[in-house]
Structure 1
């Protein structure tokens, strides 16, 4: 079963309350998303660690309810 956009955004906002988050449904199927997350939580971390934080926030849904997530993470400028 696909993950609704609203659920994905809610999960990300819960994990990164200070973040600027933008999520786009790439295929209109609830399975393929792109997320841009700008958060102070990523400060000083390499890109791989930043992405691991995002996957951890999704609590194991990646690869199940959520098939594909293209990530762009950054810290505020």
Structure 2
């Protein structure tokens, strides 16, 4: 199963919610074509109610432990409650451009 599909499936099952987008951003980085190493996750779920940002991230890392040990290099997480998502006008931030690993 492709890594992106595995991430989507695991998160959809573990965190039922209103909105889930998993974007493969590997093409924006210095990796071979068709890589699955860099992902951006936007997830809106009532499961995040009462959890601070660290606890939300820990819950995701726990759920995706196999993927994180299997070659995923970067995982940008944008995790919201339904009210927070509405307040953000249903938009997650854009990812920054890759600096190519040398800071330039």
Q: What is the TM-score normalised by the length of structure 2?
A: 0.64
Q: Say which structure is richer in helix.
A: 2
CA RMSD for the aligned pairs?
Answer: 1.6
Q: CA deviation at 1:27?
A: 1.5
Moved over 4 A (4+): none
Q: Does 1:56 align with 2:55?
A: no
Distance of 1:55 and 1:76 partners within structure 2: 21
Task: Indicate the structure (1 or 2) with the bigger Cα radius of gyration.
Answer: 2
Q: 5+ unaligned residues in a row in structure 2: which ranges?
A: 28-34, 84-104
Contact kept in structure 2, 1:32 and 1:67, CA below 8 Å: yes
Q: Does 1:33 align with 2:39?
A: yes
What CA deviation, in whole Å up to 9, does each residue of 1:10-50 have, x standing for no partner? 11111112341111110242110000111111101110001
Q: Does 1:14 align with 2:20?
A: no
Closer, same or farther in 2 for the Cα pair 1:60/1:19, shift >3 Å? farther
